[in-house]
Amino acid sequence: MFRRMRRFKQQISDEECAEILTRATSGVLGLLGDDGYPYTVPLSFVYKKGEDGSFGTLSFHCAREGHKVDAVRRNPKVSFTVIDRDEVMPKERTTKFCSVIVFGTARILEDEDEMRRAANSLGAKYSGGFEDLYMQETEETIHAGTLCCIEVKIDHMTGKIGRQILLERQRTQ
């Protein structure tokens, strides 16, 4: 169903992809937008590694209404890209890069406990040390009915490094 990476020698392991998703602070969500146009939006997210051998999930919060939520309702299949490294090498006319792309199925969380877990996971990642503040905000937005969280179940994941990084790794082995 998913294509094999054309430059498979530059493919990184699922474990390295998971490490990148864990440490990254932003990525770009790709959806099928209005009138069949692609819609991509940068966002903050949290990654949870699968415990059952699955690729895991991504979670983020958003407004209860808007382009993103409408697109998920219309077609829950999404992609998400994280660029871990992007170092231009002008003299060599290349780039040292490392990126991860995931494909998955998004769902809008409706259950309060699921929303609480997702929102508090985001708070822990981005506001560590301020648990009382983000947990209070989570409860307030749940009770006000304004919290919207989306979870993406990852169906497929690939990561790729540039040739320069691949050569560096081969030299150090």
Q: What pTM was computed for the model?
A: 0.91
- Please name which of 159, 43, 55, 29 lies closest in space to residue 98, comparing C-alpha atoms: 159
**CATH code, 18:** 2.30.110.10
In a domain, 97, yes or no: yes
Number of domains in the chain: 1
pLDDT digits (tens, 9 = 90+) for 99-149: 999 999 999 999 999 999 999 999 999 999 999 999 999 999 999 999 999
* SS3 category, 128: coil
Cβ(154)–Cβ(56) below 8 Å: yes
What is the domain range of residue 25?
A: 8-166
**CB contact set of 97 (below 8 Å; sequence gap of 6+):** 83, 85, 86, 87, 160, 161, 162, 165
Structure tokens at 133: 């503040």
CA 143 distance to own-chain centroid: 27
Q: Where are the beta strands (DSSP E) in the chain?
A: 11-12, 27-32, 38-43, 46-48, 57-62, 77-89, 94-108, 148-161
pLDDT digits (tens, 9 = 90+) for 32-79: 999 999 999 999 999 999 888 899 999 999 999 999 999 999 999 999
Residues 3, 148: Cα–Cα separation, whole Å: 32
In a domain, 59, yes or no: yes
In a domain, 111, yes or no: yes
